[in-house]
Structure 1
Amino acid sequence: MDAARFRALFPSLADTVHLASCSQGAASEQMVSAMQEFQWSLRSEGAPWGTWMGKVDEARRAFAAHIGASPDEIAIVSCASEGAFQVASTLDWARRPGIVTTDMEFPSVAHVWLAQRGAEVRHVKDRDGIVRADDYAALIDGTAGLVSVPLVSYRNGVRLPVGEVVEAAHAAGARVFVDAYQAAGVAPIDVKALGCDYLVTGALKYLLGVPGIAFLYVREGVRDARPPQLTGWFGRTDPFSFDPRSLDFPEHARRFETGTPAIPAAYAAVAGMRTLAGADPAAIDAHVRELTAVAHERLAEAGYAIASPADPALRGPQVAIKVDDPDGLAAALAGRRVVTSPRGDLLRLSFHYYNDVSDVDALLGALRDLRG
């Protein structure tokens, strides 16, 4: 499926420029239909738990295929924060207290690391919005138990040197946690090639779902120093044994699961990943890279200060600009049907396979109008 056919699957794009996939992906026909399917299951069957659990497993299998993992390496969680907490709760901070992260980490994950009692958090600082592998390596030593690195930073869309960080961490005996939230869906991901121990992402952004469901990859063979501290009936070897006196954990990634998953979000996640599966991941990546290059160049020509990397190889699916009032500008653009995502002192403009150059044209036109 080429980009034009893909774009046609999103009815709202007929009158809206959607440049906020870094916050929430646009709604596809398939996703809307899937939510209606969930509603009908309630109306027609009342409590179709077998059907719903089948949909959760379908989401698990679809995400596993998306990142090159096996379904047994995927845990269904509610959000990235929960996935990060589950991982942190199984590590021995007394033996290896170091957590190496970066100032470019999304706070929802970064706060989990800060909350670990007995852990010592070390922050890799960015240099002009770029995070370098040697800066990570300088903080990784034999006391580091976990190294956390996002594939792409939420802040300005910079791609991080994940492969080099994984290599440095494993050489020191540390495990690696990857946040793929700002990449999954538009950047090809192969967890076996990355070599990371854990990877988390959710469905609501570039995976084209809704809030409420996330996926935690746990590499096969990873052993826990202690069981996950947050658990529930889905974290059992047999959830349907209903034994209140037994606390057994399966060997596979489902040991990190807790209570009943968000069923509507599972329906939407399956629909989003089905939509993405109709396109070539390499074509999506190339298309998005081309659009960010066009946007970067034209925004710079218009006089905007660009916070995203000048090097296209380091640029993820968004271009961020520095403006005086990002929230106010985002609201004004929304009034002109251009949806963006402000964060801090930046206005983020993110691109997906459903975007095209006409969206860049519309953005620049709206910005010119607002400047007066």
Structure 2
Amino acid sequence: MTDPERERLAALRAAVPLLATRAYLFSGGIAPLAEPVRAEMATWVDRWAGDPLTHRADYFGDWGRLRTEFAALVGAAPAEVAITENTSRATNLALRLLGLPAGSTVLVDDTTYPTMAWAALRHGLRVRLVRRAPDEAAVDAFAALTDPGTSCLAVSHVAALDGYRHDLADLAGLCADRGMRLFVDAAQSTGVVPVDMARDGIDALVSTAMKWLLGPPGIGFLAVREAAATGTPLDVGYVSARIADSYQLTELPPVPSGAAGTEVGLAALPLLAAATAGIRLVRAAGVDTIADRVTHLVGRVVDGLARRGLTVLTPAQPRWRAGVVAFAVDDAPALAGHLREHGVDVWGYPSGRVRVDPHGFNDDDDIDRLLEGIDAWQTRR
């Protein structure tokens, strides 16, 4: 890593005050608050208190800036991006816009976030679960179950439960060969893994601000390539109708096709500039640079857990993992609570797994602190 890259990561770390006292290692759940994000939220509230018309005059300014930032992050055109409330809402909208044939099959696997499968069923599609062997490439498992009635492959780029990372280029090649759409939930990858919809052959992508993009809860993202947006937005509102103060009540106004037509009313206005600030922090540090740091830190976590005899659920092969590390342990919430007492924040699930999600602002000292906390836990037991 070059000196400029280290300096950018140091600046990113300095922007998160919590890191001065804690090793925060759960950015895949909710990111810690960065100072520029806090400042934008405070500025919105202050302006609202002092002169509400300041915001009224620029409702769509912050909206457009956020759309542009996210589009640049994922290799989409701004017109192909919509701001939503969350990833689940974006998922339902994406399936509507993709216009998949009724009764056709959507392939999913163990990485697929459940909303993707449930939304497909709700939209009158069939869902087929693909089971991948531990050392099998996902593209081979999907290829084996593809048939002429398969219209879409729906995956989470990085799995929330075990951190498996798909090779999107491989999946896109399969989709192109078989005439399928590639639909990607990128909530666990945008900001920590380079994503480019055009380069990676992604037809539809959804994500959220509150995780690796360092933004606030309440903002989601939808991106659908223009050529893939063959469906019609179902809902309509004054935003999608692009009306001012003149309209006809007995005539349906023209509504834009694609993602733009899904924005029917006001977004969460106080959060837009804050979400933009989070993305700008990520882009300033550089997603490639963040990815390199996270690859190093994840490797240290995986190796450290294995040396301590813990069962690592995340793939051993670096090419199949990203920022999420999961391992099995009895009484996972208790271990997570123990680590919190030692200034280390992870997440423990009642099902018996702990997740550790280092970001680009984390460093080796944070990982040392995590492993020392686990040592203390094992000694105590």
TM-score under structure 2 length normalisation:
0.91
User: Aligned AA for 1:232?
Assistant: G
Partner of 1:278: 284
Asked if the contact 1:235/1:258 (under 8 Å) is kept, the reply is yes
Instruction: State whether residues 336 and 354 of structure 2, in contact with CA within 8 Å, keep that contact through their aligned partners in structure 1.
Output: yes
Aligned match of 2:3: none
Give matches, 1:126-275, under 5 Å. Answer: 126-128=132-134, 132-225=138-231, 227-238=232-243, 243-244=248-249, 245-275=251-281
1:350 to 339, 357, 362: 357
How much has 1:336 moved relative to structure 2?
A: 2.5
State yes or no: 1:104 paired with 2:106: no
Residue 4 of structure 2 is matched in structure 1 by none
1:75 shift after superposition: 1.0
Are residue 287 (structure 1) and residue 287 (structure 2) matched?
A: no
| Cα distance in 1 between the residues matched to 2:338 and 2:114 | 27
**Would you say 1:332 and 2:338 are equivalent positions?**
yes
1:297 and 2:303 correspond? yes
Distance 1:73 1:14, change over 3 A: same
Change (3 A) 1:196 1:93: closer
Residue 264 of structure 1 and its aligned partner are, at CA, apart by 2.2
- 5+ residue gaps, structure 1: none
Question: In the alignment, what sits opposite 2:24?
Answer: 18
Kept after mapping to 2: 8 A contact 1:140/1:168: no
1:222 counterpart letter in structure 2? A
Aligned pair 1:65/2:76, yes or no? no
Normalising by structure 1, report the TM-score: 0.93
Deviation digits for residues 52-90 of structure 1 (CA, Å, limit 9, x no counterpart): 321111100110111122111111111111111112234
Equivalent residue, structure 1, for 2:45: 39
CA contact (8 A) 1:17 1:359 kept: yes
Percent identity for Structure 1 against Structure 2: 29
Aligned length: 370
> Which amino acid in 2 is paired with 1:228?
P
Q: Which residue, 115, 124, 129 being the options, matches 2:122? A: 115
Shift of 1:281: 2.1
User: How many Å separate the matches in 1 of 2:15 and 2:321?
Assistant: 26
Aligned match of 2:58 = 51
Distance of aligned partners of 1:32 and 1:136 in 2 relative to their CA distance in 1, 3 Å threshold: same
* Letter of the structure 2 residue corresponding to residue 345 of structure 1: G
In 2 relative to 1, CA 294–116 (structure 1 residues): closer, same or farther, beyond 3 Å? same
Cα offsets for 1:167-204 (capped at 9, x unmatched): 21222222111111101011111111011111111100
SS in 2 for 1:147: strand
SS for the counterpart of 1:123 is strand
8 Å CA contact 1:188–1:282 kept in 2: the answer is yes
